[in-house]
Amino acid sequence: MSNKKKHDVQAGLLALRKKMPALENIFDAFGPLVVAQEKAEELLADWGGYTVPGAYAPRFEQGVALMADMELPELGDKFREVFMLVASAVVEGVPAISKQVDEIVVAVGEVENFNDLAKALWDEDGKLLNNLVVEWKVDDQILAFIGTLSLKPFMVRMEPEAAKVIENMAWHKGYCPVCATFPDLALLKKSGDDNAYLKSHGGQRWLHCSGCGHEWRFKRNTCPWCENEDIEKLRYLQSEERQNERVDVCESCKHYFVTIDTRELTDQPDPRVAPLGLVHLDIKAQEEKYQPLAETPWNVL
């Protein structure tokens, strides 16, 4: 598993804005969400309402993520606090939907069953979610959007402990071994001395989970979505100007993911911020009718 260096999100956003002024509207729209995520992680620093499950190696190594069957943890009042933080960031970044967000904030302000929203999203219980939408009389898509983003910091909070549980077990899937979510970013890193073949053929590929932020190593020349290994059906697109950034595409399943080659970089990218600077690659891939491995606010709105 990888070592994570603490980055400052605000500084990372400012640096990206200077580097890529053409994407200023993207940073304006989604920068507040990334900052809210960091604030939520700080808010949850003392949250301990969870128990990370133990791992059963044979099941895990067959591709069942550690938290696949985990019950919703005890969120207490923390979910409401994080939800309000995220809602405020959404209004700041996307004022066009501020009316609907304000209606949601007012509607859920005092309800006692607010954590039912977390349960509906955690369990993917469409019936419960629909009942809440009817009861609260709010926009269903925006409620689910903010609610899903509000669960993410809880996953990030649990990830370090979960990573320790599975650190010595094999994982060969393109979705996260902790929470089963697909990655929003791939990083090419220098290989160690353990494998000369990998070292001489472009280093290691690490995937960054769009849900809990976990990073895991995944095979080069394999599609994370469909596990296609036919190199005739795997290619990548990049611009001449920024050759350490690219979008990998698979012709078999028509999915894509953005990648940063970090091997020659002095400063390592912050995976929470870096995808915002790659939106031009998302656009390029989607223009060619590819779908993202993981849907994020900036590649679907």
CB 182 within 8 A of CB 225: yes
Where does the chain show beta strands of DSSP type E? 183-189, 204-209, 215-218, 234-237, 245-250, 255-261, 291-292
DSSP annotation of 67 reads T
24 burial (CB, 10 Å; 0-12 / 13-18 / 19+) is exposed
How confident is the model over 190-203, as pLDDT tens digits?
Answer: 876 445 344 445 68
C-alpha distances in angstroms, 283 versus 125, 225, 279?
Answer: 31, 19, 6
Res. 243 pLDDT band, cuts 50 70 90: confident
Q: Which residues pair with 45 in a beta bridge?
A: none
Neighbours of 199 (CB within 10 A): 14
How confident is the model over 139-185, as pLDDT tens digits?
Answer: 999 999 999 999 999 999 999 999 999 999 999 999 999 999 999 99
pLDDT at 192: 63
pLDDT at 298: 93
Q: What is the mean pLDDT of residues 217-225?
A: 96
CA–CA dist 108, 105 (Å, integer)? 6
CB 245 within 8 A of CB 258: yes
Q: What is the mean pLDDT of residues 273-300?
A: 94
CA–CA dist 185, 210 (Å, integer)? 8
CA–CA dist 281, 292 (Å, integer)? 11
Pairing of strands 204-209, 183-189: antiparallel
Lowest mean pLDDT among 96-110, 121-135, 197-211, 233-247: 197-211
Q: What is the mean pLDDT of residues 36-55?
A: 95
- With H, G, I as helix, E, B as strand and everything else as coil, classify residue 177: coil
Q: What is the mean pLDDT of residues 105-134?
A: 96
**Spacing of C-alpha 208 from chain mean position:** 7
Res. 1 pLDDT band, cuts 50 70 90: very low
pLDDT at 5: 44
Amino acid at 138: V
C-alpha distances in angstroms, 119 versus 67, 80, 208, 264?
Answer: 15, 13, 25, 44
Predicted structure pTM score = 0.91
Q: What is the mean pLDDT of residues 12-24?
A: 85
Q: At residue 137, what are phi and psi to the nearest 5 degrees?
A: 55, 55
CB 89 within 8 A of CB 33: yes
DSSP annotation of 219 reads -
Neighbours of 107 (CB within 10 A): 16
Q: What is the mean pLDDT of residues 51-63?
A: 94
